[in-house]
């Protein structure tokens, strides 16, 4: 595990107990950001196999599990403490698999109907993102879908400044404590966001069809692709 990966792990270990409480306030578009991707996920089976990459506290998986109660979920994340929150969230479920590992190099032994990710891939370098999209395409079954709810870089420095200023203005008024806000600012130092257009092109280059940004609120986006 390299130093960058270790830093990400440490930061999210530290914040695990408070992560979900803060997330609604740190994501101004919280309801749409999670409900829209869940609403667009359609599978041919009532018990799809789902991989949640960078699952954290399992929030995205939880919303998808409400839609597909029989889904077989695999959650992978670097942070043991974040996964502990996931285990507590799904304590009544027996069909959840937890993996504490680096998803960029973990060797999965099965393929999935759905791969999802939320607020994780933007921590990777551009090259790592492209390699990951290739891996996700390989891990999907024929007809499988990939949903990435994440953050992207503004297309120009001016647009990026608009995104950042809007986010800062909103979280400053969110009711979070000064310490929580400063911790959130500190975590942004781990971000390696890429522009939306670049990521759409990378997904297409990996083989995905019907690639689209199905939702966008400043730099919060939901990306969609299918393996046909």
- What confidence score (pLDDT) does residue 224 get? 98
Please name the residues in contact with 99: beta carbons below 8 A apart, sequence gap of 6 or more: 74, 75, 76, 77, 106
User: What does each of the 228 residues of the chain score in pLDDT, given as a tens digit?
Assistant: 666 777 777 878 777 777 888 899 999 999 999 999 999 999 999 999 999 999 999 999 999 999 999 999 999 999 999 999 999 999 999 889 999 999 999 999 999 999 999 999 999 999 999 999 999 999 999 999 999 999 999 999 999 999 999 999 999 999 999 999 998 999 899 899 999 999 999 999 999 999 999 999 999 999 999 999
Residue 134, domain extent = 3-226
Place of tokens 């911790």: 183
Please name the residues in contact with 48: beta carbons below 8 A apart, sequence gap of 6 or more: 68, 71, 72, 112, 113, 114
CATH of the domain at 112: 3.40.50.150
Q: Give the pairing of strands 112-118 and 96-100.
A: unpaired
Residue 214 sits at φ, ψ, to 5 deg, of -90, -10
> How many domains does the chain contain in total?
1
Contact 60, 86 (CB under 8 A): no
- What confidence score (pLDDT) does residue 1 get? 61
């Amino acid at each position: 595990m390299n130093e960058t990966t270790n830093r990400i792990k440490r930061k999210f270990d530290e914040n695990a107990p408070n992560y979900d409480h803060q997330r609604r306030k740190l994501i101004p578009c919280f309801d749409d950001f999670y409900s829209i991707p869940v609403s667009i996920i359609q599978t041919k089976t009532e018990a799809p196999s789902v991989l949640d990459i960078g699952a954290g506290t399992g929030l995205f998986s939880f919303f998808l599990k409400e839609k597909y109660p029989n889904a077989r979920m695999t959650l992978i994340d670097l942070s043991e403490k974040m996964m502990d929150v996931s285990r507590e969230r799904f304590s009544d479920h027996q069909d959840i698999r937890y993996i504490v590992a680096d998803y960029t190099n973990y060797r999965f032994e099965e393929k999935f109907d759905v791969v999802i990710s939320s607020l994780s891939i933007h921590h990777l370098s551009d090259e790592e993102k492209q390699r990951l999209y290739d891996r996700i395409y390989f891990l999907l079954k024929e007809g499988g879908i990939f949903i990435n709810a994440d953050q992207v870089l503004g297309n120009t420095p001016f647009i990026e400044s608009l995104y950042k200023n809007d986010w800062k203005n909103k979280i400053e008024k969110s009711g979070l404590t000064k310490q929580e806000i400063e911790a959130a600012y500190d975590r942004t130092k781990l971000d390696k966001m890429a522009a939306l257009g670049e990521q759409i092109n990378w997904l297409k280059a990996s083989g995905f069809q019907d690639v689209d940004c199905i939702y966008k609120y400043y730099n919060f986006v939901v990306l969609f692709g299918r393996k046909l």
